[in-house]
């Protein structure tokens, strides 16, 4: 399932040079992942309460390609690259217009309430794929 999420760059997102502080891209893609899951019809609070399952980032690979600046209108595109019973690999790209300014590959894992890897229910995998 492909998903697009808009981001407006605020002054608080930038550093002294007026460009987006590198760690804020991770916040942008985190918000986009939350909205991607919500758009798939999954309530993460209910998933935790009913199934004891949460998503956690296991790995992230990030490339900063061009600086975004105060007041830029960005979009975060989220696409599934691979999915197993426990793991989801996503490609997330931040764009300004048609220009890619940041790209990442994020590996999520499903964790039980004890913090151990656990299988995602098949219905959840179908909704996210």
Q: Provide the pLDDT for residue 12.
A: 97
Q: Provide the pLDDT for residue 1.
A: 73
Q: Provide the pLDDT for residue 49.
A: 94
In the chain, the domains with their CATH numbers are 3-128 (3.10.129.10)
Q: Provide the pLDDT for residue 59.
A: 98
Helix (H, G, I), strand (E, B), or coil: what is residue 122? helix
Is there a contact between 100 and 111 (Cβ–Cβ < 8 Å)?
no
Give 10-residue mean pLDDT values along the chain (129 residues): 94 96 98 97 95 96 98 98 96 97 98 94 90
Copy the structure tokens of residue 74. Answer: 């960005």
Q: Which residues are catalytic?
A: 15
How many Å apart are CA 7 and CA 4, to the nearest integer?
10
Q: Provide the pLDDT for residue 43.
A: 95
How many Å apart are CA 22 and CA 73, to the nearest integer?
17
């Amino acid at each position: 399932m492909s998903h697009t999420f808009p981001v407006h760059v605020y002054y608080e997102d930038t550093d002294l040079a007026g460009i987006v502080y590198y760690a804020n891209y991770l916040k942008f893609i985190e918000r986009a992942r939350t909205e991607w899951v919500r758009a798939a019809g999954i309530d993460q609070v209910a998933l935790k309460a009913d199934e004891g399952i949460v998503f956690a980032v296991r790995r992230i690979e990030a490339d900063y390609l061009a600086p975004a600046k105060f007041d830029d209108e960005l979009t975060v595109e989220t696409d599934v690259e691979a999915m197993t019973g426990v793991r989801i690999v996503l490609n997330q790209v931040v764009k300004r217009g048609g220009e890619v300014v940041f790209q990442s590959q994020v590996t999520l894992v499903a964790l039980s309430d004890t913090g151990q890897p656990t299988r995602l229910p098949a219905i959840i995998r179908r909704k996210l794929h």
